[in-house]
């Protein structure tokens, strides 16, 4: 099983503007986890980006990101009349290489609200930080989805997503323990003392940040992107990048960025074009 730290590129403006947006963001996250082939262990939603620790293969992670992003776009467009700059949001994906690295990524994710001067990792309501080693978690009860009508769920969650019957909803939000494999995180840390000590250990912050520096944001894996580009080759009357003249190549680069959310690095990797040539069209 492959583990990843999946995070979105920060967007101009805000994704989540108020409590309703954050609650809906958590609910859409839970729904997207339930109908894609990934398992979630940790998450944190910030105003203009989010972080997740999950497992699944590379393709499943990309599919999850596209589904979650698409649902956020629809929700924000309904509420505000526009999804703002969310269409250009891209995904970073860092492979987790060991159990020690897993612990570091959990701490890095949960420290986000503290680093932003907003809240402590274990009391921020829009992350999974408060559910680990929480002695009163079992007493926090919500209504099980299987006992609520679909119409009530849709009205409460602003979504038509089919949810598993065991999911619990409290105050309009799906409880994180319903869709987060938090026991795995607890097992990796071993005890609450080790968990909270790790959250306070800032020595790991730079080590994790170093792994993220220079991260290539993408929306599609290269092989899936190439499958999609074959239709675009036909539109431009070419069979590949080598047949493109300078003008066509420029239009194609701009199209790849706008239509598929490709980064400069991915375009260079897939096309083989010179970086300076690509830079002109961004």
pLDDT 10s digits, 103-155:
999 999 999 999 999 999 999 999 999 999 999 999 999 999 999 888 888 87
Where residue 218 falls among pLDDT bands split at 50, 70, 90? low
- Residue from 235, 271, 84 nearest 281 by CA: 271
Percent of the chain with pLDDT over 70: 94
DSSP H helices, the chain, are: 19-34, 58-80, 99-110, 112-115, 150-157, 182-189, 192-200, 203-212, 222-235, 246-260, 264-271, 275-279
Q: What is the CA radius of gyration of the chain?
A: 20
Rounded distance between C-alpha atoms, residue 218 and residue 6, angstroms: 11
Rounded distance between C-alpha atoms, residue 185 and residue 208, angstroms: 18
Report yes or no: 275 and 264 within 8 Å, Cβ to Cβ: yes
Phi, psi of 174 (to 5 degrees): -70, 125
Q: Chain-centre distance of CA 240, in angstroms?
A: 32
Contacts of 180 (CB under 8 A, 6+ apart): 40, 41, 42, 43, 128, 131
Residues recorded for the chain: 282
Q: Which of 158-172, 188-202, 241-255 has the highest mean pLDDT?
A: 188-202
Where residue 217 falls among pLDDT bands split at 50, 70, 90? low
Where residue 193 falls among pLDDT bands split at 50, 70, 90? very high
Q: Which two tokens stand for residue 84?
A: 């703002």
Q: Work out the angle between the directed axes of helices 182-189 and 192-200 (0-180°, nearest 10).
A: 80
- Antiparallel, parallel or unpaired: β 50-55 and 91-95: unpaired
- Residue from 147, 162, 140, 184 nearest 31 by CA: 162
Tokens 């980006």 belong to residue: 49
Report yes or no: 199 and 73 within 8 Å, Cβ to Cβ: no
Sign of torsion, CA 3 128 130 132?
Answer: negative
Sign of torsion, CA 213 216 218 220?
Answer: negative
**How many CB atoms are closer than 10 A to CB 262?**
27
Phi, psi of 93 (to 5 degrees): -135, 115
**pLDDT computed for residue 91 by the predictor:** 85
Report yes or no: 280 and 256 within 8 Å, Cβ to Cβ: no
**pLDDT computed for residue 254 by the predictor:** 81
pLDDT at 282 over 70: no
Report yes or no: 179 and 163 within 8 Å, Cβ to Cβ: no
């Amino acid at each position: 099983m492959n583990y990843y730290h999946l995070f979105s590129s920060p967007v101009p403006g805000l994704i989540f503007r108020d409590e309703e947006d954050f609650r809906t963001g958590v609910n859409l996250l839970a729904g997207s986890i339930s109908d894609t082939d990934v398992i979630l262990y940790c998450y944190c939603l910030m105003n203009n980006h989010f972080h997740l620790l999950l497992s699944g293969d590379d393709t499943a992670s990309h599919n999850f990101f596209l589904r979650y992003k698409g649902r956020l776009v629809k929700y924000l467009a309904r509420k505000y009349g526009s999804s703002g700059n969310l269409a250009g949001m891209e995904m970073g994906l860092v492979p987790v290489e060991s159990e020690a690295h897993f612990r570091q990524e959990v701490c890095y994710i949960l420290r986000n609200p503290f680093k932003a001067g907003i809240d402590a990792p274990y009391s921020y309501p829009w992350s999974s930080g408060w559910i680990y080693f929480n002695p009163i978690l079992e007493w926090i009860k919500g209504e099980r989805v299987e006992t609520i009508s679909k119409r009530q769920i849709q009205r409460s969650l602003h979504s038509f997503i089919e949810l598993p019957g065991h999911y619990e909803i409290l105050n309009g939000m799906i409880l994180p323990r319903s869709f987060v494999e938090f026991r795995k995180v607890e097992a990796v840390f071993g005890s609450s003392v080790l968990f909270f000590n790790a959250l306070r250990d800032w020595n790991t912050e730079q080590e994790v940040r170093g792994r993220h520096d220079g991260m290539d944001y993408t929306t599609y894996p290269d092989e899936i992107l190439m499958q999609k580009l074959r239709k675009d080759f036909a539109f431009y009357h070419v069979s590949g990048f080598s047949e493109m003249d300078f003008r066509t190549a420029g239009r194609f680069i701009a199209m790849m960025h706008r239509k598929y959310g490709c980064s400069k690095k991915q375009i260079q990797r897939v096309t083989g074009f010179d970086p300076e040539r690509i830079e002109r069209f961004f």
